């Protein structure tokens, strides 16, 4: 049978999602936990791999198993075998046609910036710190140049292995609550480092280093060297993954509780 699960994790103490020899990864911990519940080796497929330091509110995985367990047993059993930085919010049997990555129709990310002169304390590793005052209206004006279906070569890392740089960026919004600035990005899929590179461009524009039109120039250049700095991973969260209603996955929290 095929089992799907929705995970939440704090990525600050992991070397990223993907298995890496000799390193602590989210995938390694999740597979070990589900293997203990199933009493057989489990290998999971994920909706979207996250980098070191990146968090998730509703990451989705699936795996195949011959073990018969209730939804409650899958979720609670895995949680009891996971480190405190990872939780299984839901787990249950799904149609064998479901695929955590290829069945997804959309993904949402939130990037959170603490915008004040002094660095964060209890929010360290959970938000990015920017000491320069950010003009949210300038950032939003720049974001409008990037929405749509484009070649995002200027916003992908040089290590990106995607076959095509074209993505449909369905929404890119910037808003503020007090000292906290949030960038919300919604697309059919994202390239490696794409959200962090978008955040880097928007931050420089918000700080007055560049004009809002620079975002369009970077996009049209299709050249990563024209895209400015890659923003830190600390404030980045995978907040939701969308699937067709036919798969009946529950819709869970779409944010880390900062907003």
Annotated catalytic residues are 51
Q: Would you say 100 and 47 are in contact if contact means Cβ atoms under 8 Å apart?
A: yes
Sign of the torsion formed by the C-alpha atoms of 168, 160, 12 and 199: negative
What phi and psi, each to the nearest 5 degrees, are found at residue 218?
Answer: -60, -45
Q: Would you say 157 and 193 are in contact if contact means Cβ atoms under 8 Å apart?
A: yes
* DSSP letter string, 28-76: HHHHHHHHHHHTS----EESS---TT-EEEEEEEEEE-S----HHHHHH
Sign of the torsion formed by the C-alpha atoms of 204, 208, 212 and 217: negative
d(CA 8, CA 237): 10
Is 106 exposed, middle or buried, given 0-12, 13-18 or 19+ CB atoms closer than 10 A? Answer: middle
Residue 72 labeled ligand binder: no
Q: Would you say 8 and 202 are in contact if contact means Cβ atoms under 8 Å apart?
A: no
* DSSP letter string, 149-201: EEE-GGGS-TT---S--EEEEEEEEEEEETTEEEEEEEES---TTHHHHHHHH
| Binding-site sequence positions | 109
| Binding-site sequence positions for substrate | 109
């Amino acid at each position: 049978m095929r089992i799907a699960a929705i995970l939440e994790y704090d990525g600050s103490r992991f070397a990223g999602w993907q298995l890496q020899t000799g390193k602590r990864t989210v995938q390694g911990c999740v597979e070990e936990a589900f293997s203990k519940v199933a009493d057989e080796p489990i290998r999971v497929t994920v909706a979207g791999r996250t980098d070191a330091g990146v968090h998730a509110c509703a990451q989705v995985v699936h795996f195949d198993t011959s073990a018969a367990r209730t939804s409650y047993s899958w979720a609670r059993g895995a949680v009891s075998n996971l480190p405190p930085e990872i939780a299984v919010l839901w787990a249950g049997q799904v149609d064998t046609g479901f695929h955590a990555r290829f069945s997804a129709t959309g993904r949402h990310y939130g990037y959170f910036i603490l915008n004040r002169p002094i660095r964060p304390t209890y929010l360290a590793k959970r938000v990015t710190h920017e000491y320069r005052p950010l003009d949210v209206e300038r950032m939003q004006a720049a974001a409008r140049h990037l929405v749509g279906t484009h070649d995002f070569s200027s916003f992908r890392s040089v290590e990106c292995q995607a076959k095509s740089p074209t993505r449909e960026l369905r929404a890119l919004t910037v808003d503020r609550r007090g000292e906290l600035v949030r960038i919300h990005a919604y697309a059919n899929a994202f390239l490696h480092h794409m959200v962090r590179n978008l955040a880097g461009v928007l931050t420089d524009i918000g700080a007055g280093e560049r004009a809002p039109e620079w975002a369009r120039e970077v996009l049209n250049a299709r050249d990563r060297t024209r895209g400015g700095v890659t923003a830190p991973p600390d404030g980045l969260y995978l907040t939701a993954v969308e699937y067709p209603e036919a798969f009946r996955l529950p819709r869970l929290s779409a944010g880390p509780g900062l907003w």
